[in-house]
Amino acid sequence: MSTCRRLHVIAGLAFLLVTAPAAAASCGPEKLGVSREIAIDGSQGLSLGLQSYPATLALADHEVVLTFDDGPAATTAQVLAALQEECVRATFFVIGENATGMPATVKREVSDGHSVGYHSNTHPAKTLRLMYPEGAKADIDAGVAAVDKAAYGAASDKPHNPFFRFPGFADTPALLDYVHGRGMAVFGADLWASDWQAMTPQSELALVMGRLEKLGKGIVLFHDSRISTAKMMPDFLRALKEKGFKIVHMVAGAGPTPVEKAGPDWKSTTEPIIARTLSGHGHVHGGETKEAEPAAR
């Protein structure tokens, strides 16, 4: 290497050393950031998310909670990078078997400041609802243990975090009681990106922004396992910023968790879809109900 070339390399390294910490810390007002945190109390027996339950988090207009299911996957790093770039924190509902396969990614979710929740161990195609109760409970428990081991190095008797989402939203009253009894709140969603369907990142962006602007706020469901979601995430976060949306981050904490009840005309969006899917007249794609479109929104 010539002296000149070596100097260039040294200058380049010095540049990296000077700029890298600054870049990581540059979470000024130009970034979307996190506007506030909401403490989720796992002992309250909560089931939240209006598509499946008649209650949700009490959010102000234009407040959004971001959630990601089914990871970690090959595309998760791309999602994490986009969130980091905008200083945004989210909640990842992680599949136990995936966590066992990619523990470093789960650890990064934790070290980046995200919340980690549970989404069963195997994401059974027939859903937890159609399993024998003991098998379903065992799958839930194995998922909690696998995610906690990947995230924190060890699993204990109690789940580390109070966040659980049923694969395909297919719960049962007994399994809801079981999850609540283990100290977790159950999450559905207020709206979703329909990213279990194949679509371009541009289509997904338009779809989810349209739904958000119509609803005005809510818990949003994505899949970090979907390439369209990973690709649209930087543009989505910029669009949220431009349209005046604020990010609310769910963290484990003592309650009371602020909850808003649905009106008397509330109906489950997901229940008829699950019924159709499980009776063989629908499709399950990636474990989620493929026809699960918000009917009234």
Which residues contact Zn ion (rule: CB under 5 A)?
Answer: 69-70, 167, 287
What's the closest the beta carbon of residue 119 comes to Zn ion, in angstroms?
6
Q: Look-up: residue for tokens 């474990």?
A: 287
- Closer residue to Zn ion in complex, CB, 81/125: 125
Strands 218-223 and 63-69: parallel
Please state the closest distance from residue 142 (CB atom) to Zn ion, in A.
16
**Residue 134 burial by CB count (10 A; 0-12/13-18/19+): exposed, middle or buried?**
exposed
Q: What is the CA radius of gyration of the chain?
A: 20
State the nearest-atom distance from the C-beta of 182 to Zn ion, in Å.
Answer: 19
Minimum Å gap between C-beta 35 and Zn ion is 27
Identify which of residues 257 and 289 has a Cβ nearer to Zn ion in the complex: 289
Task: Report which of 211, 206, 175 is spatially closest to residue 292, judged by C-alpha positions.
Answer: 211
Residue 43 vs 100, nearer CB to Zn ion: 100
Read off the amino acid at residue 279.
S
Taking 3-state DSSP, the helix, strand and coil percentages for the chain, each rounded to the nearest 5, stand at 40, 20, 40
Residue closer to Zn ion by CB (options 32, 96) is 96
Shortest Cβ 251–Zn ion spacing (Å): 22
Q: How far is the CB of 206 from Zn ion (least distance, A)?
A: 23
Which CB atom, from 201 or from 287, has the smaller least distance to Zn ion?
287
Considering the complex, state which of residue 32 and residue 193 has its C-beta at the smaller distance from Zn ion.
193
Nearest CA to 185 out of 251, 86, 275, 94 is that of 251
Burial of 55-84, coded b for 16+ CB within 10 Å and e otherwise, reads: bbbebeeebbbbbbbbbbbebbbbbbebbb
Contact 286, 225 (CB under 8 A): yes
